[in-house]
Amino acid sequence: MKIYDVDISVPMFLGTAQYPSPAILHQAIRASDCEVVTVSLRRETADGTGAGFWDMLRATGAHILPNTAGCHSVQEAVTTAQMARELFATDWIKLEVIGHADNLQPDVFALVEAARILTTDGFKVFPYMTDDLIVGEKLLEAGCEVLMPWGAPIGSGQGLRTPDALRTMRAHFPDVPLIVDAGIGRPSDAIQAMELGMDAILLNTAVAKAGDPVGMARAMALAVEAGRAGFISDPIDRRDVAVPSTPVLGLAELM
């Protein structure tokens, strides 16, 4: 797929928080073959070890997608994005404006406003949003060229709570890159998202908190590959009745 004129061949973005160690994070990135990793400005500067962490991420060769995780207002998100651009030397930004403290659902009104400000300022915005068609249209009007609907609340591992809504988004926005962001918990969830026609998935907790993060990173990579292959192979429709796979012509007739 092509996002903001950048070709991405691996349909999986990987978050960089909550891993047992930087070494395991590095191994997970390698195991997944992912070409885009997300990182929070807060993670980079919180404990004074940001420089080493940044050097490790650059060593992977992946595109860096800073995010505005933890922001709850337009001004906070815009300021964080501007700081991230200076620190990471990129105009890519994953835009999060959280509206609900418990389920971390985005504030879609503030999201659209922040997206408009940032795109006007030259940012290439990846908006974390609900699976709502109208919100998607408003974000595209604001200048976004990609949409990132959630599958379920961040870190919940619930999988896709409303697959029909995602299927509808795919039909409504046939030419817009769609990336499922949040909620993926198992490889089967990743397969389902890709079989619905999503262009990629973004996940963090499912890999970082797995018993074997490196093994899970590889499993997720295989899952998105299988799901994508299944989608483009045009799977058969579901049926309510059995359909014999063996022809009935030529069977013996008992008199």
Annotated binding site: 155, 182-183, 204-205
Strand partners, 129: 149
- C-beta separation of 73 from 60 below 8 A: no
Number of other residues whose CB lies within 10 A of the CB of residue 65: 23
Amino acid at 31: A
Number of other residues whose CB lies within 10 A of the CB of residue 55: 10
Number of other residues whose CB lies within 10 A of the CB of residue 253: 4
State the binding site for 1-deoxy-D-xylulose 5-phosphate. 155, 182-183, 204-205
First-residue to last-residue Cα distance in the chain? 61
CA angle 132, 39, 204 (to 5 degrees): 65
- C-beta separation of 107 from 135 below 8 A: no
Amino acid at 60: T
- CA–CA distance, 203 with 177 (Å, rounded to integer): 16
CA angle 206, 207, 209 (to 5 degrees): 75
Q: Which residue from 18, 120, 117, 23 is spatially nearest to 71, judged by alpha carbons?
A: 117
Is 124 an annotated catalytic residue? no
Active-site residue identified among 94, 124, 138, 209 = 94
Active site residues: 94
